[in-house]
Amino acid sequence: MQSLTLIYIVSVIVSIIISLTVHEFMHAYTGHLLGDDTASQAGRVSFNPFDHIDPLTTIVLPIVTILIFGVPILAAKPVPFNPERLKYGDFGAAIVSAAGPLSNLALAIVGALVAQVVTAGTTVEQFLSTFIVLNVAVFIFNLIPIPPLDGSRVLYAFAPEPVRDLFNQIERFGIIIIFALVLYGGLGGVLTNLNQTVLNLLP
């Protein structure tokens, strides 16, 4: 695990702010493009991080979970949307959900490309390393198919009715289930392996 230097802590905080702001913006903007103005009316089609960030779940939680698990678990304020206003119904909702984590994958790829022309060992290189790792982690974590994470909303669009009913029943307990799986079910190790696999595939 990376040592907790001041540069690392600042890099984590700045990376979180950028990655979550872009993530939530893309949810809101994609919903807007698909005909739902709910997020737009709430001021969430914005690159202002204060419109998206929750101090506890966006800043404190990932720092604590990095220390405990070596993998950041974090969340911003959920972007509101009305699936009845979206084009393509459930598939429109799946597109809105997928837009967030895919934006983090794109940020990681851009960071990896920039890192290739940055001098090794510099502060910029250290920041980019943290930025890439964190965006990959956000991408992977949000694809977990457990409500309320984005992966579950993508799966919901293609799932049979019994699976949809299950998702609806467990959504309010989803975060508790995820934490339990990370702590006791080995999910933390799975996430770490998936993160490393994606990092290995980056340019």
- Predicted confidence pLDDT, tens digits, the chain (203 residues): 455 688 888 898 899 889 999 999 999 999 999 999 999 999 999 999 989 988 887 778 777 777 776 666 777 888 988 888 999 989 999 999 999 999 999 999 999 999 999 988 899 999 999 999 999 999 998 999 999 899 999 999 999 999 999 999 998 888 888 878 877 777 878 888 999 999 999 98
Give the C-alpha separation, 189 to 79, whole Å. Answer: 29
The whole-number pLDDT of residue 154 equals: 95
**Residue 75, φ and ψ in degrees, nearest 5:** -155, 145
The whole-number pLDDT of residue 72 equals: 63
Name the strand (E) or helix (H) holding 96: helix 89-115
Measured distance between the N- and C-terminal CA atoms of the chain, rounded to whole angstroms: 23
pTM of the predicted structure, to 2 decimals: 0.89
Q: How far is CA 8 from the centre of its chain?
A: 20
Give the C-alpha separation, 62 to 50, whole Å. Answer: 17
Catalytic residue among 24, 125, 161, 171: 24
Nearest to 150 by CA among 137, 161, 140: 140
The whole-number pLDDT of residue 152 equals: 94
Give the C-alpha separation, 156 to 143, whole Å. Answer: 12
Rounded to 10 deg, the angle between the 6-33 and 61-69 helix axes is 120
Asked if 9 and 61 touch (Cβ cutoff 8 Å), the reply is no
The whole-number pLDDT of residue 71 equals: 60
pLDDT, one tens digit per residue, over 11-23 is: 988 998 899 999 9
- Spell out the residues 6+ positions from residue 126 whose beta carbon is closer than 8 angstroms to its own: 7, 8, 11
Is 24 designated active site? yes
